[in-house]
Amino acid sequence: MIRTSIQWNKAMPDQSSPLEKVAHDPSASLLLVRMMWAGCLVGIAVFAGFIALGVNPPADSASTGQWVRLPLFVAFILIPVGYLIRYQIFKRGRRQQAVNPKAFAKGNAILFAILELVAIMSLVTVIIAFAWWPAAGGVVLAMLVLLINWPIGRHLFPEAPKGLDS
């Protein structure tokens, strides 16, 4: 008889699903958040690459519409809001000196989703305006913030007590 994954989980009750493991294991949560980070970065880069291949604005056309600056304004509003939401999730998920692994994954996922939203909105504006600047400023800003936020797990693992030499 061939065992399926469902039968295997029933046969081995001590096995937990990957999502349950993320909720309790800081290392698994850190790995998941790093995979989300890489997926966001690659997704923005690939989408921007496709847009770069398709959008070649003529040299004499300059888009002067105010709506082309909208992605930058949205980025300057949404990025701090993303940090604030992540901070509040981390604050609620704090236990002793560390953040709960589930709260760590959820807070970073929301921040990464907001950065993706800013980048995609900027790239769609590039397509509509048929000009790279200033519409692509939101993409540049979102990618810089994403690069700065490489998940190192500082919030997951409690700090060693001060003054102990080991």
148, exposed or middle or buried, with CB in 10 Å at 0-12, 13-18, 19+? exposed
Q: Which of 4, 29, 8, 33 is nearest to 19 (CA)?
A: 29
Residue, of 54 and 59, whose pLDDT is higher: 54
Q: Mean of the per-residue pLDDT values for the chain? A: 78
Phi, psi of 130 (to 5 degrees): 60, 35
Query: Residue 65's pLDDT is what?
Result: 67
**For residues 97 and 158, is the Cβ–Cβ distance under 8 A?**
yes
Residue 13 reports pLDDT greater than 50: no
pLDDT band at residue 11 using 50, 70 and 90 as cut-offs: very low
What's the CA gap between 12 and 41, in Å, rounded?
37
Tokens of 118: 């800013």
Which residues does 138 contact at the CB level (< 8 Å), separation at least 6? 71, 72, 74, 75, 118, 119, 121, 122, 125
Residue 165 reports pLDDT greater than 50: no
Average pLDDT, stretch 110-123? 92
Query: Residue 148's pLDDT is what?
Result: 92
Q: Which of 153, 61, 140 is nearest to 107 (CA)?
A: 153
